[in-house]
Amino acid sequence: MCTGFFGERGYEMKKNIDDLAIFGGSPAFHEKLHVGRPNLGDRKRLLERLNDMLDRKWLSNNGPYVQEFEQRVSDMVGVKHCIAMCNGTVALEIAIRSLELKGEVIVPSFTFVATAHALQWQEITPVFCDVDPKTHTLDPACIEKMITPRTSGIIGVHLWGRPCNIEALEEIAAAHKLKLLFDAAHGFGCSHKNRMIGSFGSAEVFSFHPTKFFNTCEGGAIVTDDDSLAEKIHLMKNFGFSGYDNVIYVGTNGKMNEFSALMGLTNLESLDTFIGVNRENYNSYSYGLRDLPGVKLIDYDHREKCNYQYILLEIDEAVTHVSRDQLVDILREENILARRYFYPGCHKMEPYRSYFPQAGLVLPVTETLVKRVISLPNGTAVGPNEIGKICQIIRETIEYGPEIKERLSDHVALAQVVKYFDRATESETPDWAEKMLPL
């Protein structure tokens, strides 16, 4: 039995692996640590804006706060147009429809399922393409193989705030006369070659969901330099209205409300603070997990602007012995709500796994990543003390990986026995259960 478990950093001592919460010990944290707990700006300023909104009694329909928010975002990104939306998914759907995409569109499977759903919702087939093992974004070398006469566009996803190989995607799109759209849900506040994400392709789509480092409570936006496209999007997000009682286009209700906009304006004023905290957290994780065999912390290009929102690890089970899923289970029992991203891959979710049952054969990198990637808590809800504890738990878990893996296997087997007896009505113990009980 190993001893000296978690013996540093001045927090509660766990003397051996029996003290792990998954084996019955007390959790390391009394409150749950979330991957994406919302960042909040100056509450006093938020309430001032809220009272002003209530005094105006202008709650929606392109109010002054929405207009100001759109201008602030377009200035920050460096584009002519920002059209604020009720959420990122609706923004993506409207962007797809405004570009008149149809037939097939090439997308990564290693992304949040909304990217694929936004296409399928409009009866456009998402064609899943593999990603680069280093960047986790669309692999240009794989895209050419996926293009057919029915292909109308490419949607690149700037995963973790790290940009796609934009120039390569632009070349492919131009050569095949395809539309190029970017899902920049992770990319707000980031840059590529000193140009802000949001200013590439025909348009880009942001998400301002509460789990993002910058939020508007709920919301999203489409940003573009294309005047005619922006005009169409403005119509589409408001039922096609052009002036009073004048509907000139088919549309829906995608508008951002005034509360979301004032929330966004307030959080924009704290944007540098949020990013600064994220970067310090990233540095703390980098230090705490340095030189840990089988554990790779994804890196960022520090020459570019970055939001440092995601703390992503790749776990190589051949080295660590403990699998990614087992590590997630261990951390969650300690109230560290680590997450698997983006498990199991869009191609293995419905309806896509029924439509394309063999898709995994052309997605080897995706199939590997969905089994290796883990996301850890970040943002203003955690700091050096919490991160130190998280890193130490991970380090000690990996150090004693073989023993913990064996204990976890026994733990699962015993749980199966208990579950069996909970359901059993027979009075006698089965022979196979008797053999397992001593575990």
Distance CA 265, CA 64 (A): 11
**Measured distance CA(75)–CA(69) in Å, rounded:** 10
Q: Which helix (H) or strand (E) holds 205?
A: strand 203-207
Q: Where are the alpha helices (DSSP H) in 64-165?
A: 64-77, 88-98, 114-120, 140-146
Angle among Cα 352, 356, 357 to the nearest 5 degrees reads 105
- Local structure of 297: helix, strand or coil: strand
Report DSSP letters for 389-437, one per residue: HHHHHHHHHHHTHHHHHHHHHHHHHHHHHHHHHHH---SSPPHHHHHHT
Domain boundary among 234, 268, 302: 268
Question: Both 296 and 234 in a single domain?
Answer: no
Residue 335 is which amino acid?
N
Question: Length of the chain, please?
Answer: 439
Rounded Cα–Cα distance for residues 88 and 237 (Å):
12
Same domain assignment for residues 197 and 297: no
User: Is 353 part of any domain?
Assistant: yes
Same-domain status, 231 and 128 = yes
* pLDDT given at position 13: 57
Q: How many other C-beta atoms are found inside a 10 Å radius of the C-beta of residue 133?
A: 13
What does the pLDDT read at residue 420? 46
Closest CA to 343 of 136, 109, 33: 109
Question: Do 260 and 279 belong to one domain?
Answer: no
Same domain, 308 and 368: yes
The whole-number pLDDT of residue 424 equals 52
Q: pTM for the full model?
A: 0.90
What single letter denotes the amino acid at residue 154?
Answer: I
- Report the SS3 class of residue 33: strand
Question: 425 is in which domain, residue-wise?
Answer: 412-436
For 187-212, the pLDDT digits (tens) are: 999 999 999 999 999 999 999 999 99
Residue 3 lies in a domain: no
> Which tokens is 245 given?
């009682």
Q: What confidence score (pLDDT) does residue 1 get? A: 40
| CATH number of the domain enclosing 228 | 3.40.640.10
The beta strand positions in 184-286, using DSSP E, are 191-192, 195-196, 203-207, 220-224
Q: Cα separation of 118 and 392, whole Å?
A: 40
Considering the domain boundaries, does residue 187 fall inside one? Answer: yes
CA distance 123 to 120: 5
Quote the CA–CA distance of 347 and 80 in Å, as a whole number.
36
218 with 359, same domain? no
Q: Does 230 map to a domain?
A: yes
Out of 268, 287, 317, a domain closes at: 268
Q: Are residues 241 and 382 in the same domain?
A: no
Query: 250 and 135, same structural domain?
Result: yes
pLDDT value at residue 436: 39
Query: Do both 334 and 396 map to the same domain?
Result: yes
Q: Going by DSSP bridges, is the β-strand pair 339-340/33-34 parallel, antiparallel, or unpaired?
A: unpaired
The answer on 425 and 394 residing in a single domain is no
Q: Which of 227, 248, 268 is the last residue of a domain?
A: 268
Give yes or no: residues 303 and 259 share one domain: no
Position 20 scores a pLDDT of 92
Residue 326 covered by a domain? yes
Residues in the chain, pLDDT under 70? 1-15, 410-439
Number of domains forming the structure of the chain: 3
Residue 11: inside a domain: no
Task: Find the CATH number of the domain harbouring 346.
Answer: 3.90.1150.10
User: Rounded to an integer, what distance in angstroms lies between the CA atom of residue 362 and that of residue 376?
Assistant: 29
* 379 located within any domain: yes
Whether residue 243 lies inside any domain: the answer is yes
- H or E segment at 284? helix 271-288
Q: Do both 425 and 346 map to the same domain?
A: no
pLDDT at residue 2, rounded to an integer: 44
Classified as helix, coil or strand, 108 is strand
